Amino acid sequence: MKDALGYYAVLGADFSASEELLKNNYRDLAKYWHPDSNKSPDAMEHFQKLSVAYDVLKNEDNRLLYDLLSEIYDSSNFPDMKNLNILRDKNNKENPLVEVVSLRKVIGKIIGYNDESKKIICSYEQAKNEVLSHSLSNWLLGWWHPKAFFLNLKAIISNFKNIGCNQQDNLILLIHNALAYHQEDKNRQSMISALQALRYADSYQQNLLNRFIAKLNIARPSKVPEWHYTPLRLLQLIVPFLILLCASYPLIQKFNLNRYMKKENEITYFQKVNLTGGEKIMDDIVISKIFSIPVDLHDNSKLFHFARNVDVMYGPGEKFDILVHGKKDQTVRVTGFTPDKNWYRIMLDNGEMGFVPNNALLPGMEKEPPYGSKIINK
């Protein structure tokens, strides 16, 4: 309970004083300090203070207004009670669904640096833009000076922690706007601001706000939108997330390849046996099983290239004959692999299939496939 301008103290009353008590105290003190009967040099000053204080507190609505403003302002910044200006968002528009966001931005330069902290009144959508803008600036521009490096590190941490922690700033903003909207007969906006202020108020302040809300005499909305602070915090991690995503791209590509390890579409290779009579048969000993990847010429995620010059074999092993000599950076399409993933089946530009060891392949296209290549849709 605060008495910002000392009105209760001047009248010798506390915050719970009745109208009758205030009236009696005023009469007694006015008689005592009236300049006609009190010859003290500061009698006129005391008498004038009594009159100003009683003019405010004798009226129930003005008293409530004073009590609420005393909770958010002191004597040094107490506003004109009869002319409260609505605090607008960062685009200078009236919006009852605003809050205060504290952000710090550090920009390093070759010579010197800029370190800027500010509190922004904004809507939730504006807050997302501001948080993202400050995050990109800090992550991309905040490291280019020795002193700025450490200041920027502190700024990133404080920006992350401060989201949703401006309780006192929001209490001041929302109580002020509730009263300012009411003075302009915008009671719906006043109601919304007051209901939001309840979230940041203590028990005494809540009591004052509920009395104010009751005096608005309009239907109370069933629900007032709340800010979701977790997405705002996570927005500040978008740059390290993108860096991590780029660094893990090769692993993602490899996982994308391995998820095709299924039992269907298996191709079984048998060993050819030459009999003494000149006959040839296939024996029933399985040499290897290949897990097949469906060939989709529109799917460029299965395009790989040779990391070095490599021999493309007829089968998955060094003992098979050489199909062709592959050149470094030549682009091929992966169509399968062995269960141990040591060998990959690839398609060449002419449509032939062969095998190369897994360490001979890198994800992505390198050399542009020639015109008429069968590994890509052109």
pLDDT level of residue 184 (50, 70, 90 thresholds): very high
pTM equals 0.65
d(CA 169, CA 102) in angstroms, rounded, equals 10
pLDDT at 29 exceeding the cut of 80: yes
Q: Which residue has the tokens 């309970």?
A: 1
DSSP 8-state code for residue 18: -
d(CA 181, CA 172) in angstroms, rounded, equals 14
Write down all domains in the chain, each with its CATH number in brackets. 7-58 (1.10.287.110), 286-363 (2.30.30.40)
pLDDT given at position 110 = 77
pLDDT given at position 264 = 41
pLDDT given at position 191 = 96
Mean pLDDT estimate for the chain: 88
- pLDDT tens sequence across 216-249: 999 988 888 889 999 999 998 888 888 888 877 7
The closest of 3, 158, 162 to 69, measured between CA atoms, is 3
- pLDDT tens sequence across 321-373: 999 999 999 999 999 999 888 999 999 999 899 999 999 999 998 998 998 89
Report the share of the chain in percent with pLDDT over 70. Answer: 89
Q: CB burial class (10 A; 0-12, 13-18, 19+) of residue 2?
A: middle
pLDDT given at position 68 = 97
- pLDDT tens sequence across 86-143: 999 999 999 999 999 999 999 888 788 889 999 999 999 999 999 999 999 989 888 8
Rounded to an integer, the average pLDDT of 24-41 is 91
3 state DSSP class of 193: helix
pLDDT given at position 292 = 85
pLDDT given at position 222 = 85
Rounded to an integer, the average pLDDT of 165-180 is 96
d(CA 55, CA 99) in angstroms, rounded, equals 33
Amino acid code (one letter) for 130? E
Rounded to an integer, the average pLDDT of 138-156 is 88
pLDDT given at position 255 = 61
State the Cα angle at 15 between 12 and 16, rounded to 5°: 105
pLDDT given at position 86 = 96
pLDDT given at position 262 = 45
pLDDT level of residue 205 (50, 70, 90 thresholds): very high
pLDDT given at position 229 = 92
Please give the span between the terminal C-alpha atoms of the chain, in angstroms, as a whole number.
77
The closest of 353, 169, 364 to 257, measured between CA atoms, is 364
Check: CB of residue 269 under 8 Å from CB of residue 246. Answer: no
pLDDT given at position 263 = 43
